[in-house]
Structure 1
Amino acid sequence: MVFVTHRPVCGLCLRPHRTCICQWVRPTAHAVEVLVLQHPLEVHQAKGSARLLHLSLPHSRLLVGEAFAAPVWPVDGKNTLLLYPDTPLDTAPDLLPPPPLPPEWLQDPSRLRLVVLDGTWRKSRKMLYSSPPLQALPRLALRGLPPSHYRIRKAHLPDQLSTLEATCAALAQLEGDAERFAPLLAAFDGFVGQQAGYLPG
């Protein structure tokens, strides 16, 4: 006879109660709408930061998928842009060059929607290649970033940040208020410390 046991799961962060991350949620006001597109392999990644980000940003949505044949954001008058670095040397045949970001979009953060890809660099790149609607979006590239505090996952380049860190930096850049996101970034340090405690010494 086989007995199947299921660990109780938190209804908010969707993690086992023993590893619940709700203590690190910091509700943070923001004007720019955020849409997080999460790669399916990241859903159960304990070290992932997207769920904490989503729970902390009231005007955010989190959708899971790898390839998006049609836009998954509404046509509602908002200007939608993609948080993604400039890749001028990327000449893959399936990758269209992004349109320029209209400067007038940046004058009213409340009319902006920021699309964020949650996955490793390779996974997010595949999501972009597999999704023509994402390729058609103007891009926001981040500049002058501080070092990442995301020590629990390996970065391939020094300027690679966690999804939470990158999104906070983008919102600070678009809304001109970095201090507003400082409590969430401080809580993220606590989250990283919690996850590091589960790793073998």
Structure 2
Amino acid sequence: MSEEMGADTAQAAAEAPADAASLPLAVLRDVALLLAALSLWAAADAWMLLSGTGFAWLLSVADGLLVGVLTAGLFHEWGHFAGARLSGGTAPLTPVTLPLPLFNFDFARSETRHFQAMGVGGNLAHWMVVLLIAIFLPPETAGRVALLAGALGFAVFASAVEFPVISRCHGGAAPIASLAGIRPADLKRNGVLGAVAALLLFSIL
């Protein structure tokens, strides 16, 4: 009996799709992208401090918002990947030439718990970004506040979309059925919610 189970496991592993990119290369790509984006934001923030012009202020704020969204989004995607892989799910990497999606979650070869771990991982990751920015980058400039606001806006949007999916799955719905519950109107409403959260934080700080 144990030999048959071992053979089935080996066969399933052999049939599992392979990564279309190496993990180190995917990490290097996204680290380089993140460093480039943060460097541009830091340069705009420094220019605003030195020049004090309205255009420099506007550029630093725009950069901050966009880079905040990008940073939270990248961590969100890698959090999904880590949750899926570490829980034992099948989630092969996509080609490194494709920035998104980072991976393809294999619903046929993965279980509900893998899907739930993937969802939780992504949400933990983007909220961690918000926390780290808040702790290590005091809101002393408009650019820094914008960076935090952009990350917060993405986190609110993504969690508002995904928490109901995780909840439906936890309640017994199949992963694909849980995802099918996301309507275009929900995405629009949650997008507005994220934007409002970002603007509120920016106006308060």
For the aligned pair, the TM-score class normalised by the smaller chain equals under 0.3
* Structure with the higher helix share, 1 or 2: 2
* Structure with the higher strand share, 1 or 2: 1
TM-score normalised over the length of structure 2: 0.26
TM-score normalised over the length of structure 1: 0.26
Larger relative contact order (Cα-Cα within 8 Å, sequence gap ≥ 6): 1
